[in-house]
Amino acid sequence: MSGPAGGRRVLVTGADTFWGGRVVQALEADPQFEVILGLGTGTPTVSLERAEFVRADQAYSILSRIVRATGVDTIVHTFMVVDSTAVKPRALHEINVIGTMNLLAAAGAPGSTVRQVVVKSSTMVYGSTEHDPNTFGEDTPRSRPPANRMERSLVEAEQLVHDFAEDNPQVDVGLLRFANVLGTEIVTPISANLSRPLCPCIFGFDPLVQFVEEDDVVRALEHVVRTGVRGTYNVAGAGRLPWSEVAAMCGTRLVPLPPVTTGLAASPLQRLGAVDLPPELAALLRYGRGVDTRRLVGTGFGYRYTSAGAVHSFVRALRMRRGVGRRPRSYVYEHDVEQFFRHSPSVISTSEA
């Protein structure tokens, strides 16, 4: 798995998003990764040291050209939308399904140099219904077909990844399914709800939920990129907590929504911005979800946080944010400045010294 000059050449999708940026930063620290390309639709939100940023449309139509031109051996596909409130329904399908399809088509093209593909998915592919087992293993099928757009797009995208792995035995395909993420930085519908003084729950339901801390997300992706393990892996902190306990830890008060016509009752509140309740979260707040994490641990990965630890980490960050107020964005991407640092002969390269 080495490029022309010995080091690895990695392409990270969604480099302008939270996860892509974090993964690029993690890989930059290791000289083993000689070339790091960040692909994104916007501008990077974190400061990138030596990675090159390439702007592309969300369906990655130029991807096969990039792969051919740069001879990357590893693709880390972090640009999978798992929050349906973040994008329009149309874009969700476009990004998750069409984007993944084009990416894999580029990776599997004849003469492709790609030898490893790592995909970031979500435990949402298991769904959340009353028919579910208490714990989903990687091979446990869904109990019911996907009921919402979010899950459907992820299931379709994963199917593409499975097919790709079957058709390209020369490529190490790692598929990571992450539980709901909490941490110091990330904003999700769950973290948004927990940050407010009032937080939704569904009357009479207190589901068990499992979390993974954002550092463990990046570390798990890095672990799979480094070890090249194949297969599907659940990534989630040990243990699970009732939603009421999560709310109590965060110091927010639960507001019960009616168990029938939940969506109808929630929609005016959603419009006011008082709650975030996408359909996939409404299902989770009823039946919860738990996953078996033994398989990834078996490959040598060690978690730093448990589920409760992830909540604790989020609570600490929440308290601090309340203490200091909104902090200014620490980094603004300037294309010319970044080009100058990377390519100007006047810049003294420290990495070769």
Site residues (vs other proteins, CB under 8 A): 130-135, 137-140, 161-163, 165-166, 169, 173-175, 202-206, 208, 229-233, 237-242, 245, 248-249, 259, 287, 290, 292-295, 297-299, 302-309, 311-312
How many of the other CB atoms lie within 10 Å of CB of 219?
19
- Name the residue nearer to other proteins (CB basis): 35 or 160: 160
By beta-carbon proximity to other proteins, the closer residue of 205 and 333 is 205
Task: Output b/e per residue, 103-140; b: 16+ Cβ within 10 A.
Answer: bbbbbbeeebbbbbbbbbbbbbbbbbeeebeeebebee
Half-sphere exposure of 31 (CA within 13 A, CB side): 6
Between 15 and 225, CB nearer to other proteins = 225
Give the shortest CB-204-to-other proteins separation in angstroms: 2
Dmax (CA) for the chain in angstroms is 66
Nearer to other proteins, 19 or 126 (CB): 126
Q: Are 149 and 89 in contact (CB under 8 A)?
A: yes
Compare residues 65 and 144 and give the one whose CB is closer to other proteins.
144
The DSSP bridge pattern shows strands 208-209 and 211-213 to be unpaired
Closest CB 170 distance from other proteins, rounded Å: 9
Nearest approach in angstroms of CB 277 to other proteins is 17
DSSP type of residue 54:
E
Q: Exposure string (b/e) for 291-310, b if CB count within 10 Å is 16 or more?
A: bbbebbeeeebebebbbbbb
Q: Cα(136)–Cα(282) distance, rounded to whole angstroms? A: 19
